[in-house]
Amino acid sequence: MSPIAPDYAFATPFLNPPASPIRSLMPYAMRPGTISLAGGYPAQELFDVEGLSVASTQVMARLGGCLQYSNIDGQASLREQLARLSAARGLRCNPDTELAVTGGSQQALALLSRVMLQPGDHAVIETPAFPNSVQALRYTGAAVHTVPSGPQGIDLDALDELAARVKPKMVCVVASFSNPCGATLARERRLRLLELAVRHRFLVVEDDPYSELRFDGEAVPPIAALAEGEARHWAVYLSSMSKTMAPALRIGWLVAPAEIRRRCVGAKAADDMACSAWIQEVVAQYLANGRYDEHVPRIRAAYGLRCDAMAGALARELDGRIRFSKPQGGMFFWARLTGDVDATRLLPYAIEHEVVYVPGKAFYANPAEADLHAMRMSFATMNEAQIAEGMVRLGRALTACEANEPVSVSLAA
Ligand SMILES: Cc1ncc(COP(=O)(O)O)c(C=O)c1O
């Protein structure tokens, strides 16, 4: 290969690909002995290996029929099961015309973005948000605007004002246990969001990987499930098996008005032709066996204990130095350092003390809006004892940082 790269004429959205601050933390998070609260991974020891093995064995017995290309919109068996699962959450749909299987909810958002957006268009996402969602919107070349989100979810007054001004085609939210805020949009706020969608004629896109991980309080139906009359044309629902079954399956789904769904399926044909028929059959079999309904409560219970452990240890070890609101589900605490030290300055000290979190600024589409004192801590992958120890270490790291002690770890700015 030539030592000097040619001046490739990259497409505009790919000219300056952003570095991933979360991925760059992973080498530290993987160090033996380190307590990592940084990842967005679900707990590996809670994967239902036995249930998936049983389903796999059943599918193996009819493997010959599962090695062909799948229908682009997904295997009929899986679409039927996913329609049943969506209905259990309150969202009824036709599995043949309104639902399609996707490669995780990430691909669902990427397909939808491609179908709806082009340069010159406007889209809105709450901030802070999952960086890959922001990128899915940005890669279309559309202008991506942000609306602040907090413990109650997206600020609807700010959205109303922005929508009147920029006329977005899509507004994206994680309405249940958002990543990174852990926030949930209450039912009446979901209804108001639908009203805004109808008035301003934008699609409300709810990305929902987390709602089934509720360990406290009452379930709130998906936004699309609350849509009546004209609002039904403006609501799209995306979900995923990544946090409740396993991310390696790469199975998610979308529920959308038929005209939108049809175009997303066309985009998927151009993207990856279809998800693996084999894996889809395993997921469908697992669901048909009733294992999903049996297993998800176990994950929920374990995460509930871990969340309690984090809330207790934060209050005990960092009383007054970190503020937080306790989520009712999902995997994340969004916490805020109350003193002069910000989350980026603290991080090398934390790494030295063998505990890792993600500074909140990684989740802001617009760096100028970032809350530099915020941090995201996942309680999903560590057990209660590790979480408690992690908070002890974080307290020590904060003390060392406040005292300006020398630190051996240096991180790129
Ligand atoms: C808000 C959000 N959307 C989408 C995803 C990706 O999910 P999937 O594995 O289904 O593509 C994640 C994963 O962390 C997420 O937090």
pLDDT in tens, 274-289: 999 999 999 999 999 9
Tell how far the Cα of 162 is from the centroid of ligand 1, in angstroms.
26
Tell how far the Cα of 105 is from the centroid of ligand 1, in angstroms.
6
Please tell me if the CB atom of residue 212 comes closer than 6 angstroms to any atom of ligand 1: no
Both structure tokens of 332? 């994340």
The answer to whether 248 and 42 are in contact (CB under 8 A) is no
Please tell me if the CB atom of residue 105 comes closer than 6 angstroms to any atom of ligand 1: yes
Amino acid at 346: L
4 pLDDT band, cuts 50/70/90, is confident
Average confidence (pLDDT) over 8-33 = 90
User: What SS3 string covers 273-293?
Assistant: CCCCHHHHHHHHHHHHCCHHH
Please tell me if the CB atom of residue 240 comes closer than 6 angstroms to any atom of ligand 1: yes
Average confidence (pLDDT) over 315-323 = 95
Please tell me if the CB atom of residue 206 comes closer than 6 angstroms to any atom of ligand 1: no
Please tell me if the CB atom of residue 357 comes closer than 6 angstroms to any atom of ligand 1: no
Q: Ligand 1: which residue has its CA nearest to atom 10? A: 104
**251 Cα nearest atom in ligand 1:** 10
Residue 111: what pLDDT?
Answer: 98
Please tell me if the CB atom of residue 130 comes closer than 6 angstroms to any atom of ligand 1: yes
Residue 413: what pLDDT?
Answer: 60
Amino acid at 298: R
Give the residue from 365, 323, 309 showing the smallest Cα distance to 139. 365
Please tell me if the CB atom of residue 348 comes closer than 6 angstroms to any atom of ligand 1: no
Please tell me if the CB atom of residue 174 comes closer than 6 angstroms to any atom of ligand 1: yes
Q: Which helix (H) or strand (E) holds 88?
A: helix 76-88
Averaged pLDDT score across all residues of the chain: 96
The answer to whether 306 and 152 are in contact (CB under 8 A) is no
Both structure tokens of 326? 């306790």
Tell how far the Cα of 223 is from the centroid of ligand 1, in angstroms.
18
Average confidence (pLDDT) over 162-187 = 97
Tell how far the Cα of 209 is from the centroid of ligand 1, in angstroms.
6
Q: Does pLDDT of 1 surpass 70?
A: no
293 pLDDT band, cuts 50/70/90, is very high
Tell how far the Cα of 136 is from the centroid of ligand 1, in angstroms.
12
pTM, two decimals, is: 0.96
Determine the Cα–Cα distance for residues 226 and 221; give it in Å rounded to an integer: 7
Tell how far the Cα of 241 is from the centroid of ligand 1, in angstroms.
10
Average confidence (pLDDT) over 192-217 = 98
Q: Does pLDDT of 21 surpass 90?
A: no
The answer to whether 276 and 261 are in contact (CB under 8 A) is no
pLDDT in tens, 98-150: 999 999 999 999 999 999 999 999 999 999 999 999 999 999 999 999 999 98
Please tell me if the CB atom of residue 176 comes closer than 6 angstroms to any atom of ligand 1: no
Query: What domains are defined for the chain?
Result: 17-40+294-402 (3.90.1150.10), 50-289 (3.40.640.10)
Tell how far the Cα of 111 is from the centroid of ligand 1, in angstroms.
14
Determine the Cα–Cα distance for residues 238 and 98; give it in Å rounded to an integer: 12
Distances (CA, A) of 412 to 17, 101, 307, 345, 409: 17, 39, 31, 11, 10
pLDDT cut 90: percent of the chain above it: 93
Using most ligand atoms within 8 A of CB, pick from 130, 134, 135, 172 the residue to mutate for ligand 1: 130
Residue 148: what pLDDT?
Answer: 97
Tell how far the Cα of 12 is from the centroid of ligand 1, in angstroms.
25
Please tell me if the CB atom of residue 179 comes closer than 6 angstroms to any atom of ligand 1: yes
Instruction: Tell me whether residue 376 is exposed, middle or buried, using C-beta atoms within 10 angstroms of its C-beta: 0 to 12, 13 to 18, 19 or more.
Output: buried
Q: Does pLDDT of 330 surpass 90?
A: yes
